[in-house]
Structure 1
Amino acid sequence: MRNPWTIPVAVALLTLAACADPQTSAAPKGNDASVVAFDTSANQKHITSAKVDSIAAELPAAVRDSGKLVVGNGSAGGGLPPLGFTADDNKTPIGVEIDIAHLAASVLGLTPEMQTTSWENLFLGLDSGRYQVGISNIGVSELRKEKYDFATYRLGLHAFEAKKGSGLKITGPADISGKKVAVSSGTLQEAILLDWNKQNVAAGRPPAEPKYYQQASDTYLALESGRIDLYLGPNPNATYHVATAGKTEIVGTVSSSYPVQGLVGITTKKDNGLVKPLADALNAAIADGSYAKVLAKWGLQSEAVPKSLVNPPGLPKDKQK
């Protein structure tokens, strides 16, 4: 499965309560990955909310009458924890994206029908109507908005991961000057690193030294042995790794669409009538606290949004990967 952050999102700058600068911050205060205990069982209970009749009434009649919401999730092949991945029984889909599907559907009075597919087939399924919505870390972009509608539910963040006890705090380009930083080739993480290097050189500081590894296991071995100082990768992946391996820590985050803040959204075929009730359902869940419980379950509190937005400004077309 392809890395879902290689095609992230962008929106106008958001004011976040947790930090003054929404594009970069030190280790996220909302996360405590070291104490997250991930439930990977197949029979786990999904966090839901009460049905709101007035929001359910906004649904297209055919969807409301069917009683179900057909959800495509691009986590085929085992998935990517803690987003969408396979439970201990090797068949049941679990993760924050699956829980978001159950949460939104519960407010609408619908039962989610989860269908796991590949990333490419997810969009083909949306186009054909096989899936009514896609919930799979899909970033808002101006190019995608030509075909799809979005109801946002998470920030798009990358995380700087370091060996536990490193003492590093990354809040901007100066903090990586002279450091050895691992990134994956061709990703937006690499683009951020190269952009920060340009800023460091312009300011008379030594650039960071990019490092590339073929496998995540090789990257983490280099990090733990001290051969590299930092690894810049998707925040959810880093959160899961920190909690399960116990040898590293998150020392800073940066927007997936630096220098503007990225957003991830529930995705539907354009003008199919679903995006407003989905956003209203998410906002009801935000208001009653159930949304916060979902993110806390997967250690992703730092990616919480204060409000679900419909089709906000997205990643510019010239930056779409």
Structure 2
Amino acid sequence: MSVRRTIPLALAALTATGLLSACGGSGPDADLAAPRGERDTGVNIGPDQDRIRGKKDPAAAGLLPEAVRERGTLRIGASADASPPLGFYATDDRTRIGSEIDIATLVADTLGLKPRFEEVSWENLFVGLDSSKFDAVLSNVTVTEERKEKYDFATYRLDNIAFEAGKGSGWKVKEPADVAGKKISVSSGTNQERILLDWSEENVRAGREPVDITYFQKDTDYYLALQSGRIDAHLGPSPTAAYHVATAGRSEIVGRLSGAGGGLQGKIAATTKKDSGLVKAYAAAIDHIIQDGSYAEVLRRWGLGSEAVQKSEINPPGLPRTEN
């Protein structure tokens, strides 16, 4: 699972220093979260998002359990952590915005249901699923083999991580040798840390220098470290890195890889309690928004076009269990 970090007042601090004043970078990751018609003026983090909405698809809605159709609402759990562009608070400090909220809203619209969001801590997302408090969680949840024992998954985004370095570094990261002897920051207890440790060990076995690993838990801390040159790069979730690159204009992505590590592509999925009867409806709704173009529009809005999927998969191969 990619790291989810709490960023208290981070957006306000970045705005105050001018880092959110204009988009930077080029390519698909520079097409950021401005409302339609405003992409040349900077990133909109206000409460009025002009959110992209969908229309009910009777075929997808017909796959819902009768009790959910009669209730007319889709109870969605979302992480309360601030993690742009996935989910964070607008400038009014009340309105939740971000790509995960937009995708979840489209899924609910497609199923003919009214979305009901509740923000809770990461661990309470799964408590809510276990107790049937939530019908679904769309909050950057990675499919893992362990989670598949208790939950069903319908994929909607690739799970990638990225190396972010200072702008103009001229550096590309594709394999462990590229980071030998480099000072790389990461957040502890994450897949990113595990992958970086594995790469460092591989370098040592090959007679190269290990990675000089340092730890930051807040985005604002690694931003400052990158600007001051105290680290060569930071390894974190690709969406967060892409958002920072495009909004701040002072860094660049120098390498991407699957959040699963190795040869397996990690995948982010709508998550529901196992055997709840909901996962087929979610997959059908996601396929519908992929086909009608609204899905791609949301990903473009938040600079996540490189993480698009072509079709929703139900319970695909997940990250393997970690050995104790």
**Which TM-score bucket, shorter chain as reference?**
0.7 to 0.9
**Which residue, 199, 204, 207 being the options, matches 1:204?**
207
Aligned-partner Cα distance in 1 for 2:190–2:58: 43
Asked if 1:66 is matched to 2:64, the reply is no
> 2:3 aligns to what?
5
> 1:232 aligns to what?
235
- The code of the aligned residue for 1:292 comes to A
> 1:121 aligns to what?
124
Alpha-carbon spacing, 1:49–1:35, altered in 2? closer, same or farther (3 Å): closer
> 2:169 aligns to what?
166
| Pairing 1:121-200 to 2, within 5 Å after superposition | 121-200=124-203
> 2:257 aligns to what?
254
Aligned-partner Cα distance in 2 for 1:205–1:278: 47
State the identity as a percent: 53
Alpha-carbon spacing, 1:150–1:198, altered in 2? closer, same or farther (3 Å): same
> 2:318 aligns to what?
314
Deviations 1:243-279 (A, max 9, x none): 2222111111111110121111111111111100100
> 1:287 aligns to what?
291
Shift, 1:34, TM fit? 7.8
The count of corresponding residues between Structure 1 and Structure 2 is: 297
Q: Which secondary structure state, in structure 2, belongs to the residue aligned with residue 302 of structure 1?
A: helix
Q: Which secondary structure state, in structure 2, belongs to the residue aligned with residue 185 of structure 1?
A: coil
Query: Could you tell me whether the CA contact under 8 Å between 2:87 and 2:98 is conserved in 1?
Result: yes
Query: Could you tell me whether the CA contact under 8 Å between 2:31 and 2:300 is conserved in 1?
Result: no
- The code of the aligned residue for 2:117 comes to M
TM-score, structure 1 normalization? 0.86
Aligned-partner Cα distance in 1 for 2:58–2:218: 48
Aligned-partner Cα distance in 2 for 1:34–1:129: 35
> 2:267 aligns to what?
263
Q: Gaps spanning 5+ residues in structure 2: where?
A: 6-24, 35-41
Aligned-partner Cα distance in 1 for 2:185–2:31: 21
Aligned-partner Cα distance in 1 for 2:26–2:154: 24
Alpha-carbon spacing, 1:43–1:286, altered in 2? closer, same or farther (3 Å): same
**Which residue, 45, 49, 52 being the options, matches 1:47?**
52
Alpha-carbon spacing, 1:253–1:245, altered in 2? closer, same or farther (3 Å): same
TM-score, structure 2 normalization? 0.85
**Which residue, 84, 88, 97 being the options, matches 1:85?**
88
- The code of the aligned residue for 1:81 comes to P
Shift, 1:166, TM fit? 0.6
